[in-house]
Amino acid sequence: MNLFQGLNRLIGYARWPIRYKMLGIVIAAAVLPLLAFLGVQSVVRYQNLGETTEVVLEQQAQVASLLIDGHLNRLLTTLKEAGSEPRIQAYGITLALASSRSGGDIEANLVRAAMEEQLVLHPEIRAIRLLDPQGKLLVVTGPVAEMPSIAMSEQREHPAFAQFAGRDLSGANVFLLDPYLDPESRLPMFEAVSPLADYTTLYGYLVFSLDPDMELAQPLVEAQAASRDLTLENGILYVLDTNGRLLSPLGDLPLLTTELTLESVASEEEEAESARPAVYTRDWGAGPIQVMGRHRTVSAIGWTVVSEVPASSLTVAVFRELATGGQLALVVVVVLSLVLAYVTNRLVAVPIINLRRASEQLAAGNLDIALPEMERADDIGALMHTFSNMAEQVRASITELEHRVAERTRDLELATTIGREASSLRDLDTLLNYAITQIVQSFPKIYHAQIFLVDESRENALLVASTGEAGRELLRRGHALAVGSVSVIGRVTELGETVIARDTSSSRVHRRNEFLSDTRAEMALPLVHGDHVLGALDVQSVYPNAFNPDEQALFEALAAQLAIAIDNNRRLEASQQRMNELEAQNRLMTQQAWKQVLGGQRRGVLDAQAGAAPSQNRAEWSIWQHRAALQREVIVSPPDADGFAVLAVPILSRGEVLGVVEWQMPADRINANTQLLARELVERLSTTLETFRLLERTERQAERERLVNEISSRLTSEPNIPLILQAAVQQLSEVLGTSQVSIQLRQSDAAPANGRPDAGRRESN
């Protein structure tokens, strides 16, 4: 017991999920003995596999070196044939001789044609170029854009030329160069050189650019295929040049830029007795790892083929062999333990885990969970059945709630839209008809809507907007209901509260209407603004109990918006009417003021004329002046026989026509600019006239104020009433220009003093 408690504290067995607890028990009972047996076997297998791996690596390196050696020999044969082609030799020597004389364009074209033919015949050759003995480029063919350096006109400093310049090539028709990186493109270059010479004279060099992938990748693949049955996983083959630089693709390592130390054991027979273990460290670009390897030298050129495999692959191979080639008894134990673990897991752990996951998803809001149907009569089956029923009930409740929320949101958006659009309308009838039409179209349960407004006496609610044919008939008849009557509208307009007849067949407040006989539910909402009930919004449905509390709150908000819109509309109409009255009054005052101004003139007319002598009767307006004054716009007459036309422009002040300015000028001078100029001049004239009229009136008022103040000051200087009256008579006579002024002070509603009719009278003349 103490041992179990210590193990539990160490590995936390009590906190394990039930699946892991059951699997742990099965594995501990069946697999642990198997693992002990396999541990012993793995040591033996590892030793045997290490020996086999060394044989495989040596075989791969040997086969690859032989294949590459043969491939290079065939390549050299091909290059010899291409370099010794008679036309290339003949034209090339001719070109080399002609180039020294600053000529040879024809020979260059002939050489280029012969080279291009060789490129077609030998796909392994990518490009050919001809150099003179000093490294000057004479001809080049092939994809020079990919290898820019081979098109250099002077190649004395070129990496390839540096290898064969001055070298004795008389003993070999073709010489393979050490690979190098193109100085401009930094791409690996594999090249061979063949001398262009006769028996005694060197005329130049033929340089062949080869495809490195085609030359080395295929032999390595063939070498691996040759020992496929013995090759371990993750084994690699690669080639190094004499300087240890990589010549074949290997992971992400760049070609010719990585120098690898040759640490693998050579498989030469003379070194077999002193061979050391072939395990060492190698970094292929992903970090240093332990590898086992062998290498072989390619005799044709001195390159090295290396065959390596990660040391960890040996361990993997050991476990694979043990798993696939174990004894039958061990396989039976493993199979039985796995079957027992699987059955136990499926019958006990999986249902409990599924139930836990389903409960977590349900708690997170995922309602689309589904438990597998299992016909079980034990406690787990009953628990899953109960949970499934609970999940279905929760799903149904939430689905119904989401549906109600969606409908509520849609209704709120519709009501807000209707209220916003209605409030933007300025005509009251248009506003009301738009609102009820949108209500009927937006809410399917409502088939009829109408609006009542309370009259000024607040005794009746008059129908002002109604939908459908029934609504038009009710409007034609002037339908109205008394405020406070036994009806839905009467109650709403009296109390200012929403009234709902949920079932018209049993409602005591619903008044049946012959034109709306299909109504089974009715809701009337007050149109209230401040403390005043403006009217009622009435909606009706063919379904009993059609209006729930949410819809009631929705329509109450809509009714409040309509009430504000109606009140604003009424205020706007009243303001507009007041503005019209003020404008009419202003126009009348302006008209009267100008009548007073013109009344002091002869014939009540002010006129002025430029040009010809004034007519004898300027009180008479021309037909064009009458028309301009009547139409209040610029009038242009047709031209007369002399080519003159009349331009008449009305003089307007505060909407009143004060007169007309008339021009007579050649018709061809009257255009749009002339009319615009005339209109602006007349507008300035109107403004100036009105300004002087107001200035004159102001001066008259100031003069009257001055005279009144002067008379008042003189009166206040007199010591008694008779002198005050006498002074007043004199001042008034002077101001008014009259010869007689009389002032009488007389008592009213009282008998004459001393019985004489004239008692109490003061008179001054």
Do 656 and 754 fall into the same domain?
no
Beta pairing, strands 180-181 & 743-745 = unpaired
Calculate what percentage of the chain has a pLDDT beyond 90. 1
Q: Which of helix, strand or coil describes residue 304?
A: strand
pLDDT of 715 above 80: no
What integer pLDDT is reported at residue 373 of this predicted model?
58
Segment 120-141, tens digit of pLDDT:
888 888 899 988 888 888 899 9
Residue 661 and residue 641 share a domain: yes
Q: Which of 471, 467, 407, 410 is nearest to 440 (CA)?
A: 467
Query: Among 565, 583, 612, which residue terminates a domain?
Result: 565
Instruction: Classify strands 762-764 and 521-529 as parallel, antiparallel or unpaired.
Output: unpaired
Does residue 98 have a pLDDT over 60? yes
Q: How confident is the model at residue 649 (pLDDT cuts 50, 70, 90)?
A: confident
Q: Picking from 6-20, 73-87, 226-240, 596-610, which range would have the lowest pLDDT averaged per residue?
A: 596-610
What is the rounded average pLDDT for all residues in the chain? 75
Give the model confidence (pLDDT) of 659-714 as tens digits: 888 888 888 888 888 888 888 888 888 788 778 777 877 877 887 787 777 777 76
Tokens of 169: 């090539």
Domain count along the chain = 3
Tell whether 558 and 507 lie within a shared domain.
Answer: yes
pLDDT digits (tens, 9 = 90+) for 446-479: 889 999 988 888 888 888 889 888 888 888 888 8
pLDDT at 374 over 80: no
Distance (Å, whole) CA 56 – CA 58: 5
Domain final residue, candidates 565, 596, 631: 565
Q: What is the extent of the structural domain holding 459? A: 425-565
404 inside domain: no
**Are 62 and 226 in contact, with CB atoms under 8 Å apart?**
no
pLDDT of amino acid 609? 59
Report the range of poorest mean pLDDT among 322-336, 377-391, 466-480, 570-584.
322-336
Question: Do residues 460 and 550 share a domain?
Answer: yes
> Mean pLDDT, to the nearest integer, of 331-346?
71
392 or 82, which is more confident? 82
Give yes or no for a contact between 341 and 373, defined as CB atoms under 8 angstroms apart: no
Q: What is the pLDDT of residues 739-754, one digit of tens each?
A: 677 777 766 555 454 5
Of 40-44, 395-399, 759-763, give the lowest mean pLDDT range.
Answer: 759-763
| Per-residue model confidence (pLDDT) at position 232 | 58
Strands (E), 667-747: 743-745
Question: Which positions ≥6 away from 374 have C-beta within 8 Å?
Answer: 351, 381, 384
Burial of 233 (0-12, 13-18, 19+ CB in 10 A): exposed
**pLDDT beyond 50 at 615:** no
Instruction: Indicate whether 192 belongs to any domain.
Output: no
Are 666 and 750 in the same domain?
A: no
Residue 506 gets the label, from left (phi > 0), alpha (psi -120 to 50) or beta, of alpha
* Tens digit of each residue's pLDDT (9 = 90 or more) over 168-186: 776 667 888 888 888 888 8
- Does 697 share its domain with 726? no
- pLDDT on residue 542: 87
Give the model's pLDDT for residue 132: 86
Tell which residue, 117, 185, 115, 190, has the closest CA to residue 152.
Answer: 185
Same domain as 463, residue 504:
yes
Residue 116 lies in a domain: no
User: Which one has a higher pLDDT value, 92 or 314?
Assistant: 92
Burial group, residue 293, by CB count within 10 angstroms (0-12, 13-18, 19+): buried
Q: Which pLDDT score is estimated for 358?
A: 73
Spatial CA neighbour of 294 closest among 266, 334, 261, 256 = 266
Do 549 and 666 have their domain in common? Answer: no
Closest CA to 594 of 584, 583, 604: 604
Residue among 685, 640, 683 at smallest CA distance from 665: 640
Residue 464 lies in a domain: yes
Mean pLDDT over residues 342-347, rounded?
Answer: 69
Report the amino acid identity of residue 105: D
Mean pLDDT of 3-28: 64
Q: What's residue 211's pLDDT?
A: 77
pLDDT over 50 (residue 760): no
Report residue 66's pLDDT band, with 50, 70 and 90 as the boundaries. Answer: confident
pLDDT of residue 273: 41
Give dist(CA 377, CA 580) in Å, integer: 91
Write out pLDDT tens, residues 223-269.
767 665 545 567 788 888 877 888 777 777 777 777 777 777 665 44
Q: Which of the two residues, 379 and 608, has the higher pLDDT score?
A: 379
Residue 251 domain flag: no
pLDDT (tens digit per residue) in 520-541: 888 988 988 888 888 998 998 9
The pLDDT confidence band at residue 77, using thresholds 50, 70 and 90, is: confident
Domain identity same for 672 and 750: no
| Shared-domain flag, residues 705 and 738 | no
Q: Are strands 304-310 and 202-210 parallel, antiparallel or unpaired?
A: unpaired
pLDDT of residue 271: 46
Between 404 and 751, name the one with better pLDDT: 404
Domain-located, residue 362: no
Mean pLDDT over 594-601 rounds to 57
- Residue 469 CB-density burial (10 A; 0-12 exposed, 13-18 middle, 19+ buried): exposed
- Confidence class for position 189, pLDDT limits 50, 70, 90: confident
What pLDDT does residue 613 have? Answer: 45
**Whether 451 and 499 share a structural domain:** yes
Amino acid residing at 81: E
Q: Is 260 within 8 Å of 248 (Cβ atoms)?
A: no
Residue 728 lies in a domain: yes
pLDDT, greater one: 182 or 33: 182
Q: Of 520, 539, 565, which residue sits at a domain end?
A: 565
The answer to whether residue 472 sits within a structural domain is yes
CATH number at residue 494: 3.30.450.40
What's the Cα-to-Cα distance from 8 to each of 5, 12, 20, 349, 418, rounded to whole Å? 5, 5, 14, 20, 70
Q: Are residues 432 and 518 in the same domain?
A: yes
Q: What is the pLDDT of residue 141?
A: 92
pLDDT tier for residue 405 given thresholds of 50, 70 and 90: low
